[in-house]
A and B are shown apart, each in its own frame.
Chain A
Amino acid sequence: MVGWEGTIALDKGTAARLDDRLERSALGDQFAFEEIVRQHQGMVFSMACHFLRDRSLAEELAQEVFLNLHQNLRSIKSPEHLVFWLRKVTSHRCIDQSRRLKVRPQVSLEDVPEPSIDATENDLFLSEMLRRVVDTLPEKARLVVILRYQEDLDPGEIASVLDMPLNTVKSHLRRSLSSLRDKLSRTLGEVTL
């Protein structure tokens, strides 16, 4: 399993600048904290938004994650650790939120409405279609897909973030992609994905 130490390779200058920002932020510098938020808000918000499929809920969840970070800044050891921490906390909060509010009705793949227009002519439509199909996956499998395709993490890194065995991550990915391929090929007909 891969730890947070090896997740991102930063050049020395960037790492030093980010380290300094973290240090100042931990000492109570609000400007440094604001810079950190602005740098990572896209990642945290997108994970929550893709998982919950609700922008306002996703914003609320992202705010809670950053408030949690504000309370735990002293425990963050490096910029790489910060990114790992944010992904981990966001993933866990997404699952908690989903279980608590039951915001997402359980829809089977077969119940996803068929598209009425040609997907190849409209990328936006295809993207929306993919998101809706991924939305039908179980929680952990959905997070695996989001971390794989939004954050471009390899299975080892995903296993580390989600505290999951590597083989489980691989099997989630394999089954999810197989389901997606089946559903989309049935929906889109001739188009091969």
Chain B
Amino acid sequence: MKPCVEIRGLAMSFGKNQVLRGVNLDVAEGSVTALLGRNGIGKSTLLRILVGFHPPTAGRTSVLGLDPAKRGPDVRRLVGYVPDRMELPKWMTVAEHFRFLEPFYPTWDNALVAEMCGRLQLDVSAKHATLSKGERAKHALVAALAHRPDLLLLDEPFSGLDPIVRHEVLTAVMGHLREDGRTVIVVSHSMGDVERIADRLVMLDDGRVHLDAALDDVQRRARRVAVTLEPGAGAWTPPGSPDVTRTGDDVVLVYLDWEERYDEVLRDDVVVRDVRQLPRDLDDVFRVAAKAASSASPTKEIPCAAS
């Protein structure tokens, strides 16, 4: 099956600042892909290229079979895009914004707008300028979903939201998306959110894809292990290549490539007094992967990379 989004050798420079240096990525139809990476690494730029804001410096992209650099308006008609920040005129109410958008989309669905606003408890008579951060996020999401896009691009849609609003939005929006089987690419720094909605993780670093794996696979291969060493133990080398945090005799190991035999190796180690498996934490996975990516040479294999 042809991927919904296909990116080959994508490079993007702003003057001397090369943000992307050869990104290769396929996004399957119906998948929810989380785009991860440190701040300023080019995640938002990648999304803006996909909606045709910027023509890439090099490489090729295809979104729903269209080249966004050449057919940006057509792509945007089929794609729902939630930018990291949406500003509207102060006088414009939520309802006026929806009325403003309607003529641009042949598939605009007012019934869906009403349903989503009801589900998210969004007051359409309120002016956009008076909305809280959570309400603005809801507004942006409804505006992006109202024309029933085949692909939804979310650029940190949940940042700054409190847990209650975040839960509301996630439940309502992702429920709707899963019902329709839409494809989603979401940029987020919240691993909790990613764990809840994504089925695939893509991590960018140094302008390239450094991690591209199914969420299940990452969860299966990632482990956090707490090890207590014998008192006075000196230098100690754990099996595999985990990220090691040692505080006295207590050591926390974060593995991206856990193998079951490591448990036996650890328990058989004479300087190890106790071994405990800790709950999985994708934040740690992200941190360790980012650390590995930034210290790796461009040609080095990243342990957890699926491809």
Partners in one complex: no
